[in-house]
Structures are given as C-alpha cells and as structure tokens.
Homo-oligomer: A and B are copies of this chain.
Amino acid sequence: MSGEFELINRHFRRRSPRDDVVLGVGDDAALLRPPAGQVLAATVDTLIAGVHFPEQTDPADIGYKALAVNLSDLAAMGAEPTWVTLALSLPHADEHWLHAFAEGFHALAARHRVALVGGDTTRGPLSITVQALGWVPEGQALRRDGARPGDDLYVTGTLGDAGLGLAVLQGRAQVAAQYRAALLERLNRPEPRVEAGLALRRLASAAIDISDGLAADLGHLLAASGVGALVELPSLPRGDAVLVADPHGQLAMTAGDDYELAFTLPPGREGELAALAGRLPPVTRIGRIEASPGLRLVDAVGDPVAFSLQGYDHFREF
C-alpha cells in the first residue's frame, strides 16, 4: 500500500550492510542468498505496549529492544544474525516517534550487521513484531535439549537488573540514585549475547536465553533435555543494586528481561570455556545438571531453599 510504502522508505530503508541481500525492502518479498553448508535459524517475537514495555517508553528504546529480544533468541541458538523483517502497528502517524524508533532499531542492527529486508506497517494498537533470520553450521546449533546429568550450569552477565529497573520505574522498589540509570539501561537496552552464542558453538551442550526469568527459562531447557538442575542461590551473579534489593536471589531467579544466556557445559571442558574469556561476557557457574527432574535451589551450605518461582508470563492463563 502506498502509505506503508512511503513510511518504510522514509524511515526504514537503509543501504544494506550485507551483500547477500539480492533484493531488499520494496517488492512482494525480499530475496536473500544463503551461505553454503549452514542451516537457517528463524525466530519471531512481539512487543506490545503496556505488556512488554511501559506505554511511555522512549521510542528509540522500543526500537532497540524489539530487535534485541529477537537477536537474543538467535544468540541462544549460536546463530549469526543476518536479516530481519519488521511488522509495526501504530495508533497514529507520528513522525518524531517513527524517527526515534527507527534510530534505536538501526543502531543495534548496524552493530550486528543485520539488514532490515521487509516490513509491514498498519494502523492499530502499538505493537512490534520482528522476525529474525540467521545461520549456523549444521550440527553446531545450541539447542535446549542437549543438557546431560553432570554438566555444569552457567549464565552470562548478571541477573535481575532489568527486573529491578522495572520495579524502580513502577515505584515498587527504591535503589540508591547512583544505580538507577544503569538498571534502566539494562531494562531498555538489553545486550543480545550474539558473540557469546557464536563462541559457545561446539562447547555448550545446551543453551537458552533468559527472557522470562531464569527459573522459567531454565525450566524449558530442563524439560527439553529431560533432566533437572541444582542451583546454588549464592552463586547467582548479581550487581550491587540487585544484591542489596534481592539478598536471597528470588529476583535473580524470576525477573524477566535480562536476555542473558543460560548454558550447560559438559564435564572436563572448563579449560576451553576459560580460554574463551576474551570473546565472552563474564560467565558464572551457578549449579549443575542432575538426572532427577525439576529445579532444586540450595543456600550457601547446601540446604534447600523454597520460594515462589513464578516467572513473568505474558499470557499466563493459556
């Protein structure tokens, strides 16, 4: 449609950073040249105003995050992102909003050399759906179903920052002023762990990204692998603000929006992981995979700890 056309042209058509885009935005479909010997990784995620981000969020942050959550899914597969499509529904035309949204989106796309190859814009409640495509050599993908008893359990980065940032934003928590900006940055501009995912190919036995809280997402990994896990709560990596607000680790276990990776490492491969230090964000061992199904939490002396592990579920009653 003509309006969509002009909109996409004005804000979303950029010179492609890739020479594998045969035909980009502007035809009925994009035409894309696959690399040899790899499999295509495809994922889709939607962000809806009021559900996935507060209504008043800076549109540049919305644009950034809509792409980031999808790149995070590819990272969790060990896939290299190449192309994305964007479906944008907006209640009314707002040039300033669109300009800022596109800037946030393209800032992250450029950093990962990802090309926006197609889009659809419609009038409707504010909602953004991104589909991300990437590539991984066949047999090297980081799946959820490869964890085995005896594997060690790791996470990248720190946990709970984004959740605490949201709580601060909503007035449910208070933190020292010096932490506020960094927590909101974690909430609004999560760093998809693309390089970590690539580095962990052929090393991690399983991986998942932590979008809905470690407990919930680790639960998916455990279920897919048919195993359980023991998590040592004091080991959960937390920044200073989260350590103060969440001394027992409940927030780190359950808060969403961190977009770190949880992964499992087969026994005897710690040296290879350590050798990747320059290519990885900080990684922390938080527990181990066990044969018995379920998730067990223990304190510093190994005693069981129980608290609610209800994660963040956007559509719980389904």
Interface residues of A in 108-127 (CB under 8 A from B): 117-125, 127
Q: A125: which of B6, B74, B124, B312 is its contact (CB, 8 Å)?
A: B124
Q: A216: which of B2, B31, B33 is its contact (CB, 8 Å)?
A: B2
Name the B residues within 8 Å of A138 (CB-CB).
22, 33
Q: Does A77 contact B (CB under 8 A)?
A: yes
**A40, B32: Cβ atoms closer than 8 Å:** yes
Name the B residues within 8 Å of A314 (CB-CB).
1, 3-4, 122-123
Give chain A's interface residues, CB within 8 Å of chain B. 1-7, 22-23, 26-34, 39-46, 48, 51-52, 73-74, 76-77, 79, 83, 85-87, 89-90, 93, 117-125, 127, 129, 131-134, 136, 138, 141, 143-145, 207-209, 211-212, 216, 219-220, 224, 311-318
Known contacts A39-B22, A48-B124; is-contact A3 B93 (Cβ 8 Å):
no
Instruction: Give A45 to B26 CA distance when docked, in angstroms.
Output: 13
Known contacts A2-B216, A39-B31, A77-B31; is-contact A120 B127 (Cβ 8 Å):
no
A224 to chain B, nearest CB (A): 7
Instruction: Give A140 to B121 CA distance when docked, in angstroms.
Output: 28
Q: A315: which of B1, B52, B220 is its contact (CB, 8 Å)?
A: B1
Name the B residues within 8 Å of A120 (CB-CB).
44-46, 129
Known contacts A1-B312, A7-B318, A123-B315; is-contact A33 B39 (Cβ 8 Å):
yes
Q: Closest residue of chain B to A69, judged by CB?
A: B120
Instruction: Give A212 to B4 CA distance when docked, in angstroms.
Output: 11
